[in-house]
Structure 1
Amino acid sequence: MNNNEKGLSFIGAFSIASVWFGAHVGGGFASGSQTMSFFIRYGKYAILFSVLSMVIVALTYRENMIMARYYGAYDYNSLGKALYKPYDKFMSPIYDICYISAGLLAVSASVAGAAALITQVMGLPYFISVLLIGILTLVLSVFGSELVSKASTVLSVGIVVSFLIICLKGITENTTVLAQNLQAPMEEGMFFKGLIKALSYAGF
């Protein structure tokens, strides 16, 4: 494999990873409520549960991609039929409803979080902020997956860099508090509660 092929391979993999990352970076991620609800409240187990969730999601995506390639199912409807065959006539509509509902919830949370941020930073009315984000989302959707992939790649780089800066600053300035939280004794049953939350996150 030559250098160009290696470069293209890395770019392709990074684009896929960026789209995946973009799927997680919504209103809950930006505000911290998602991380707090699913992971941080479980103290020293937070890192374990967050890694567990991402591993499960990654393996699920991997199996989906293998299955999509094997069956030639490159849209969610075809994938649903292949996934539930021979019960696809009954299960596929249920899968459609769940998939669309999850998509609406995820997009709504992202739009709401982004609009709230624009309102806070720029002072625009919330309705105008929602309208702007809605138009941007519509434009990205209309022009297809290629534009979404490119946009996700660019935005993911910016988000990751910003995220690392914030994390490094937060950790270095709060090392004592972090150490106390990690060493604090956990209530009985918190491990299993956190495990259920982690599996719930992965399931979504």
Structure 2
Amino acid sequence: MWNSAESAFTRTPSYREGGEDEEALRWAALERLPTYARVRRGIFKNVVGDHKEMDLSELEVQEQKLVLERLVSSVDDDPERFFDRMRKRFDAVRLEFPKIEVRVQNVTVESFVHVGSRALPTIPNFVFNMTEALLRRLRIYRGDRSKLTILDDVSGIIRPSRLTLLLGPPSSGKTTLLLALAGRLGNDLQVLGF
């Protein structure tokens, strides 16, 4: 059992008789391990106050639950402190935060729209559009809409830890591309690729 008042990854000095800093020695030994082993090991403080180095993959079910409860409760208390502790933990074992590289290939986004005066946002056009949408759902009337290609065969890579600038003239599909990357495109658009 561990002390629930403290963090799962505390690194406070624990001096024993004779002036030896046992916890610092354990952290130093942990830092010398290969990366794969460092990620899966930790130093925990139990109820008695002893610091124990253990392999996280060998925790029993109750111990796993206790560690997760402590981590979740620390996030609820102060998220900024939790992420600061996680950053220190990654730094202590010399790991980098995972980075994501976004790749898109041959993305095409198309929509069916009204053209001319029918595209203007007026009250009669709104009524006509709603009526036409209802008739389209009932498969009675197809409507006279034109196909508009918003993005046409777009490919690219967004690299991690880099600032990416997306430039283009108005109505060129910048927002549509960002929504496509986030997976938040509307249901009325046809998407190909990714």
Q: Which has the higher contact order (CA 8 A, sep 6+)?
A: 1
Task: Determine if the TM-score, normalized by the shorter chain, exceeds 0.5.
Answer: no
Greater Rg by CA: 2
Report which of the two has the higher share of helix: 1
User: Normalising TM by the smaller chain, what interval?
Assistant: under 0.3
